[in-house]
Amino acid sequence: MLIRATINCPWNRCRFCSMYKGKKFQLRPVEDIKQDIKVARVIQDKIKELSWRSGYGGQVREVAGMVLKNPSNQAMHNVALWLYAGGENAFLQDANSLIMRTNELAEVIRFLSETFPTIKRITSYARSKTAAKKRVEELIELRQAGLSRLHIGLESGYDPLLQYMDKGVTAAEHIKGGRNVVESGISLSEYVLLGLGGKGMWREHAIQTARVLNEIDPDFIRIRTLSISSRIPLHAEVENGNFIRMTDEEILEEEKLLIEHLECHSNYVSDHIANLLQEVEGELPQDKGKMLACIDRFQSLPPEERANFRVGRRVGVYANLDDLDNLHKRQAVEQIIHKLSHDSSQIDEKVIHGLMEGFI
């Protein structure tokens, strides 16, 4: 269930992000947020009632599925979809709910838990800077109210890169914010953006990001790969030559360096379609060798195999390296390469970037 605790992003300046550009940030009155939660509860009760009336004995999943086929409005659609998916997780939007006053955010979280006692996990996004400003006691108050996990966009731990990207936070603040969350007992996911250093800063980006993550020791490290659509400010930097994009293969070298320098106890997760090797995942430190071996496996493929895999991933045909052995999928990718390369079998880097952006 998505509850909009705040609207848009209070920072909104990161060069690689287009999510809320041109939209003004707003705090919402607690009573308005509670009203949304109450409406969601009324809808859930209606679906439950319908379940009893239709002979499903109060089981909501089947009835939610039927409601989804023809919902009367967007709110009905959202609640039905949530119930259909199990009705156990809630997410407080938008980009940084932690910016709310602690007592007000705690009140919202408590109200959400009381209104939906079946909810098992409440999560939200936060900025490191905001988490660094909160006292650990305040974060403990939020955990006790029911906040289970915070997702923070670390992106990089390298100060010149954070500055260039206008992330509005330093490596030291990343560490302070992350440590505050860890100490409070709230589960922490830190997001890393591969490719963000470009050709100019990739080494420092990988090494300093690992250093900052080692200091934080988050529960999860979540990997994302930079994609540059024309909507993001960084696009202009690419056009004027100030930022030089890395190729997929260079980004893998960067990821390798990052993993080699990680000395934390986090769950490394690669749960995004834009990552070339989504199978590079595992528990640190014990799975480090396995994760690096996966990158080595790709790197030791012949060049034409690597090119085939890259295109296959970027058009959504391949999920992992084993798919290269699937004849059906392989033929489909070869046909696409043939078409895209105008019969030359050579694919331009820009074409692959275009596929990636188009696919996302």
Footprint on this chain of ligand SF4 (rule: CB under 6 A): 9, 11-14, 17, 19-20, 95, 127, 153
Distance from C-alpha of 309 to C-alpha of 22, rounded to nearest angstrom: 37
C-beta closer to ligand SF4: residue 19 or 39:
19
> Cβ closer to ligand SF4: 153 or 195?
153
At its nearest, how many Å lie between ligand SF4 and the CB of residue 117?
31
Minimal distance, residue 96 CB to ligand SF4, in Å: 7
Minimum CB distance to ligand SF4 smaller for 12 or for 208: 12
Integer angstrom CA distances of residue 190 from 59, 119, 341:
36, 23, 38
- A 10 A CB-CB count for 141 gives 18
| Nearest residue (CB) to ligand SF4, 5 versus 95 | 95
Q: Taking the complex as a whole, how short is the minimal distance between the CB of residue 151 and ligand SF4, in angstroms? A: 10
Instruction: Find the shortest distance in angstroms from Cβ 100 to ligand SF4.
Output: 16
* DSSP track, 317-342: --SSGGGGG-HHHHHHHHHHHHHHTT
Question: At residue 310, what is the residue type?
Answer: R
Q: Which is nearer to ligand SF4, 275 or 308 (CB)?
A: 275
Q: What are the tokens at 178?
A: 């992350």
Partners of 27 in the beta sheet?
A: 6
Between 11 and 318, whose beta carbon lies closer to ligand SF4? 11
Least distance from ligand SF4 to the Cβ atom of residue 15, Å: 9
List, in order, residues 6 or more apart from 56 with CB less than 8 Å away.
62, 63
Min dist. Cβ of residue 287 to ligand SF4 (A): 28
Taking alpha carbons only, the member of 194, 152, 196 closest to residue 174 is: 152
Closest alpha carbon to 207 in 197, 220, 217, 199? 197
Q: Tell me the three state secondary structure of residue 252.
A: helix
Q: How far is the CB of 23 from ligand SF4 (least distance, A)?
A: 10
Closest CA to 158 of 235, 237, 242, 258: 258
Question: To the nearest whole angstrom, how small is the minimum distance from the Cβ of residue 318 to ligand SF4?
Answer: 28
Pairing outcome for strands 6-7 and 26-27? antiparallel
Expressed in percent and rounded to 5, the helix, strand and coil fractions of the chain are 55, 10, 35
Q: From CA 223, how far away is CA 201, in angstroms rounded?
A: 18
